[in-house]
Amino acid sequence: MIQCDRKINRRILIIDDTESIHQDFCKALQGDPDDMDLAAEEAELFGESEANNRPNITYQVDSAMQGRDGLSKVIAAVDEGQPYAVAFVDMRMPPGWDGVQTISRLWEKDPNLQVVICTAYSDYSWEQIIERLGMSDRMLILKKPFDPAEVAQLALALTEKWSVTHQANNMVRTLEKLVEDRTNELRHAATHDNLTGLANRTRIESCLIKAITDYQATRHKYAVMFMDLDRFKIINDSLGHKIGDALLKEIANRITIVIERMMQSTHRDCTMTPGRIGGDEFVLMVQYSGDHQRIMEIAAQMLAEIRKPYNLSGRECHTTTSIGVTFGEFDYDDPLDVLRDADAAMYRAKSDGKDQCVCFDQSVHEAYMDRLMLEEELRIAVEDHSATMHYQPIVDLRDGRILGFEALVRWHHARLGFISPVRFIPIAEETGLIVPLGKQIFTMAVKQLVAWQKQFNLPLTMNINLSKRQVIEPDLVNWIAHLLKEEKPIAGTVKIEVTESVIMDAPDLIAPTLHQLRQLNMPICMDDFGTGHSSLHCLNRFPIDVLKIDRAFINNMSIQRDYSAVVFAILTLAQNMNVQVVAEGLETEDQLAQLQALDCDAAQGWYFARDLNVMDATALLEKGASMAVDLSVIRRAG
């Protein structure tokens, strides 16, 4: 709120070359002692209050005998921040400046000064005065000889007017400053990210337009880095949005640190504009001279700086970034095309293993366009429920019984043919399509399990994979509980598979969900065991019922004794913890013999059967899953 200062400026300057005139002004403004005594007696005689007859106003009156002297006083008053409100100026003051000259000079130094021209006659007509000084509401005329009441009324009115005008001007200036500040805030908000203070997409695109124009005119080189954090969603969901926001701000700070460090040393001639264009996506536009290696040096510094650990609210966090780079030499016309290609290169960096930098080229473009096409086709497939299920048997290595199956999704596209899960599952996870697709998979697998259990009267099991994105869905447990209640599979026969990397990426987020699933009487299987870190440690933290040894260990058992020793250690540990073990990727009779010798519980792999469609899997069960069959029978059937 704007506060109004009602203090009245009562400073008055009298400029006149006659001493008696100054005395008359003083009497009119400050009062004659004799007149004041007479007024008091009159008030007493008539029983009136003296305060009702004369306003209690005190003026500060200064005098000047000549125009130059008056100008000096006005200048001093302005410099001291105590300007005069009113000046009474005589028109004739020989031998110095006349009134018009004086007023003109006074207004040059103090344009807010209210002026009263005092004259009995004038060397100027009113028209001439206006011609010299201009039409103004700051100038009045007082004819001599004047009545003291006229002077008093002019002084009262003009000092009030000056003060009100001054206050209004202050309010206007304050409002203008508020408007200016708010306009600057809005302009900054329109071009900068609110969380990090970096440039936003709008500003980045504007800078890119200029860079493109500069390159086309002068061949001044530019490059764009597209940086996307690895594992940010896991951190954000497991530790909370407050920690996630703190991480984004720290990332922005580290990007700024790298820029300042590079521009103070090897990249002084570069212009760098960092920005955040959404979520965990950051951009750096660089105008530079020289070769591409200079840009790759910046990227290397970014990777190293972001890779360092973070301390956020007392918690140590780790993340990396994948960087895609494109260069102005591709002759872009549209900034959106620049960002698109840098984004495409970033996706290549992610698919190649993350925490690295990839430069855009034609192969990246083709892969990116192929990915966009595949993403759109996958979206249609999910909407149309086009995915189908295959099942790979899991076999008891002691007697050859089929214990159950692992459910595996398959996608046959009408035009593209068979599309490997290796291609479409990562896209489904990145886009979130894995959530509806995962529910379709889960539903089909449970329904098929129930059908087999009824058909063969066996407690067959079904292993169903859950991705990281699925596990962190808030409604996952309730949805699965509802499905189990609807379909009624035999208790404990629906098993959940999660990879070791999913568990270790966000243990605090994953653990509660796994415990809730376990409470639904669903055994938990750790898939790809042995490929990650802290595997043994997490066995005590999570409700793990089954370990699935990664196929890499099984494939190399017969080749390198070290792998056989690792498998033996895993089996020994599992037996001591009363955890079952399933070997994945069993392909040869030698591998089977070693696993049986090590007393492994079960296995799956091409030695027994590839993944089978419903008809073939049913046929396999019909051939003897209801009794202890010879392993060779199962092998031939697959």
- Cis omega before residue 523 (within 30°)? no
Does the domain at residues 382-462+620-638 carry the CATH identifier 3.40.449.10? no
Rg (CA), the chain: 44
Question: Which of 40-54, 65-79, 117-131, 448-462 is predicted with the least confidence, judged by mean pLDDT?
Answer: 40-54
Length in residues, the chain: 638
| Domain residue extents for the chain | 11-171, 201-360, 382-462+620-638, 466-525
Question: Which fold is adopted by the domain 11-171?
Answer: Rossmann fold (3.40.50)
Q: What is the per-residue pLDDT for 532?
A: 59
What's the sign of the alpha-carbon dihedral 44, 49, 55, 56?
Answer: positive
Residue pair 497/441 in contact (Cβ under 8 Å)? The answer is no
Cβ atoms within 10 Å, residue 110: 16
Give the pair of three-digit tokens for residue 222: 């530019």
Placement of tokens 């400026």 in the chain: 9
Separation between Cα atoms, residue 131 and residue 146, nearest integer Å: 26
- Residue 2's pLDDT band (cuts 50, 70, 90): very low
Counts of helices then strands in the chain (DSSP H, E): 24, 21
Identify the pLDDT of residue 144. 84
Percent of the chain with pLDDT over 90: 62
Mean pLDDT of the chain: 88
DSSP class of residue 123 equals S
Q: CB burial class (10 A; 0-12, 13-18, 19+) of residue 283?
A: buried
Q: Is 411:419 a contact under the CB 8 Å cutoff?
A: yes
Pairing of strands 494-499, 524-529: parallel
> Rounded mean pLDDT of 466-479?
92
Confidence of residue 628 (pLDDT cuts 50, 70, 90): very low
CATH architecture of 201-360: 2-Layer Sandwich (3.30)
Local structure of 120: helix, strand or coil: coil
Which H or E run contains 527?
strand 524-529
Q: How many CB atoms lie within 10 A of CB 505?
A: 16
Euclidean distance between CA atoms 230 and 80, whole angstroms: 63
- Give pLDDT, residue 236: 83
3-state SS of 134-199?
CCCCCEEEEECCCCHHHHHHHHHHHHHHHHHHHHHHHHHHHHHHHHHHHHHHHHHHHHECCCCCCE
pLDDT tens, position by position, 117-139: 988 766 677 788 888 888 888 88
Per residue in 570-581, pLDDT (tens digit) is 899 888 888 999
Query: Residues 496, 499, 502, 508: is their CA dihedral positive or negative?
Result: positive
Q: How far apart are CA 118 and CA 115, in angstroms?
A: 9
- Tokens 């793990």 sit at which residue? 544
What confidence category does residue 313 fall into, taking pLDDT thresholds of 50, 70 and 90?
confident
Q: What stretch of H or E contains 301?
A: helix 293-307
Q: Dump strand ranges (E) for 429-555.
A: 461-465, 494-499, 524-529, 546-549
**pLDDT of 151-210, one tens digit each?**
999 999 999 999 898 888 889 999 999 999 898 888 888 899 999 999 999 999 999 999
One fold for both 201-360 and 382-462+620-638?
Answer: no
